[in-house]
Amino acid sequence: MPDDIDFMRLALEQASRARTAGEVPIGAVLVAGDGVIAAGANRPIASHDPTAHAEIEALRAGGQALDSYRLTDTTLYVTLEPCAMCAMAIVHARVRRLVFGAWDPRAGATGSVTDIFALPGCNHRVDVFGGVLAEECGSLLREFFAARRG
């Protein structure tokens, strides 16, 4: 039976696809039961869409796969701590569990900069687990930005 590390490796594959496409290498997979129902890679540059973060892409595909905007009983795996936009989308989608890799000290919204999931007005609670394959996830990002800086 696959575990958090197995699914995070699949999210890393999505991040590698984003990198190959010239996007910031962040990937996500949405899991229901023991299987992946959707995946997403960062694509705001190619899509000319500032909301096309990996998490949003996976949530959109998951909604289509389940024929519902409510993604209850799912787990979202993402290689980087979600930003505030993505965190609120996760809440609105009713994702049960979020597992992420690297922490984002600049824009992370699960505790690094703010914690969207702890806001008292949220109508849904998400179980959040950070740091799964954090070094691999962070390394991919550091290498990407180092190469871009020259």
Q: Which of 23, 55, 57, 81 is catalytic?
A: 55
Active site (annotated) includes residue 55: yes
DSSP string across the chain? ---HHHHHHHHHHHHHHHHHTTS---EEEEEETTEEEEEEE--HHHHT-TT--HHHHHHHHHHHHHTSS--TTEEEEEEE---HHHHHHHHHHT-SEEEEEE--TTT-TBTTS-BGGG-TT-SS--EEEE-TTHHHHHHHHHHHHHHHH-
Catalytic residues: 55
